[in-house]
Structure 1
Amino acid sequence: MLTVHHLGISQSDRIVWLCEELSIPYELVRYERDPVTRLAPEAYKALHPSGTAPVITDEGLTLAESGAIIDYIVARHGGRKLTLQAEHPDFAQFLYWYHFANGSLMPCMMMLMGAGGLTGIMRDRLARNLAALEAHFTQGHRWLAGDAFTIADIMIMFPLTTMRAFVPVDLSPYPNLRAYLHRVADRPAFRSAMAKADPDRKLQID
């Protein structure tokens, strides 16, 4: 049985949501952050050498890293749904946005958590990343890969919503991006995932 080890207010939101979108059977084990430090409990850190969320276990396998877990679940349990193949005209766009979340957007926000001398640089880079997303949706794209909802959309939601509990980001200058977030939040699988993963938390969309 696939088991998703979910740490509250973390990137493991993505994995719960993926399982709901794919309608695959899984077991959800929830862990709460320390109320003072906001860090993961020792039981979660012990799951994998990385000590970070997300983590899954599956038939003796223990796997960490959002992208790796998503790729594994889609290939092993999801029939490669929610992806685009190389012959699809939006394949390159799909790849770009799929890797954009953790390759470009998340590093900016993580570095802003630590502040320091790079704050101005990271704020500028974050603004350019958000402007790129706004421009993409201004062009009429419904999802990151065009007309198809994919795992790229699952990857991007965390930094644009949950991560803002740690790094406040004003999205008011980006109306098309906010409209996109509302489209995502209206998906039944997303609502089901959030109700299971963090039932007591109000998700920050706007």
Structure 2
Amino acid sequence: MLTIHHLNNSRSQRLLWLLEELNVEYKLEKYQRDAKTGLAPVELKAVHPLGRSPVLTTENVSLAESGAIVEYVVRHYGNGAFAVPEEESSYQQYLFWLHFAEGSLMPPRVAMLVFSKAKQKVPALLRPLAKKILDGIMDAYYKPNLIQSLKFTESHLQNHAWFAGTEPTGADVQMLFPLETLVAMGQADDYPAIKAWVKKIHDRPAYQRALEKGGEYDYA
């Protein structure tokens, strides 16, 4: 049986959605973030050396990284659902969005979040200087890249129901976390197609079942 090692408020929630969509029997091991650091607990290192979530395990497999897990699950348990598209142009879109989610979209989002938190931890006397430096870095690099990526994503969703083809695929699973966090944090007002796509997934019965099983999740 598959076991998903699930950390609250993390990327692993999208994998629970996938498993519920596929009606796959699985075991759920839950972990809670450290209340002070927000990081994963040390117990996860006993599951995988990186000590992060998600991790999928079986008797023969210990697999980290969301994209790798998505591909493994769809290949071995999908039975045609959420499958890699056969049509060439849809297949190319699948490959692109599957890797775009973590390769291009998430890094600037994470960087901007880290910088925002860093400004709050600087001593009050140094905070104006720190804010000027960190805001300068964000405005010069991370923010423009993020806006460009979001505009590109918005444009695609204005003309497509799903990211690759006419049915949801693993690419949609991967894209869910960065976009639902964007919506939940009130940063998607300029992107109505993204908001509509996220709502469409959140309204699916399988997603609701995944929420019930996964527990606390701030981004739904």
State the TM-score, normalized to the length of structure 2.
0.83
Aligned residues of 1:9 and 1:162 also touching (Cα < 8 A): no
Alpha-carbon deviations, 1:76-123, whole Å to 9, x = none?
Answer: 222353123443542111221111111110111122233246312111
Q: Give the SS at the match of 2:29.
A: strand
Q: What amino acid does structure 1 have at the position aligned with 2:7?
A: L
Residue matched to 1:201: 217
Q: 1:148 aligns to what SS in structure 2?
A: coil
Q: Which amino acid aligns with 2:153?
A: L
The separation in 2 between residues aligned to 1:146 and 1:50, in whole angstroms, is 34
Tell me the C-alpha RMSD between the 2 structures.
Answer: 2.0
Aligned-residue identity in percent: 40
Aligned amino acid, residue 212 of structure 2: A
Runs (5+) with no aligned partner, structure 2: 116-133
Counterpart in the other structure of 1:130: 150
Partners of 1:156 and 1:134 in 2: CA distance: 12
* Equivalent position SS for 1:138: helix
Which stretch of structure 1 is more off in the superposition, 112-121 or 127-136?
112-121
1:186 and 2:207 are equivalent in the alignment: no
Is residue 85–residue 164 contact of structure 2 (8 Å, CA) maintained in 1? no
Query: What residue in structure 1 maps to residue 174 of structure 2?
Result: 155
Report matched runs for 1:53-202 at 5 Å. Answer: 53-79=53-79, 81-115=81-115, 116=134, 118-120=137-139, 121-139=141-159, 141-162=160-181, 168=185, 170-198=187-215, 200-202=216-218
Deviations 1:43-74 (A, max 9, x none): 12331111111111111321101111111111
Does the 8 Å CA contact 2:182/2:188 hold for their aligned counterparts? no
Q: What is the Cα deviation at residue 20 of structure 1?
A: 0.6
Q: Which has the larger radius of gyration?
A: 2
Q: TM-score scaled to structure 1, two decimals? A: 0.88
**Greater share of helix residues, 1 or 2?**
2
Amino acid at match of 1:185: H
2-side partners of 1:171 and 1:56: how far apart?
A: 31
Kept in 1, the 8 Å contact 2:94–2:164? The answer is yes
The DSSP-based 3-state class of the residue aligned with 1:90 is helix
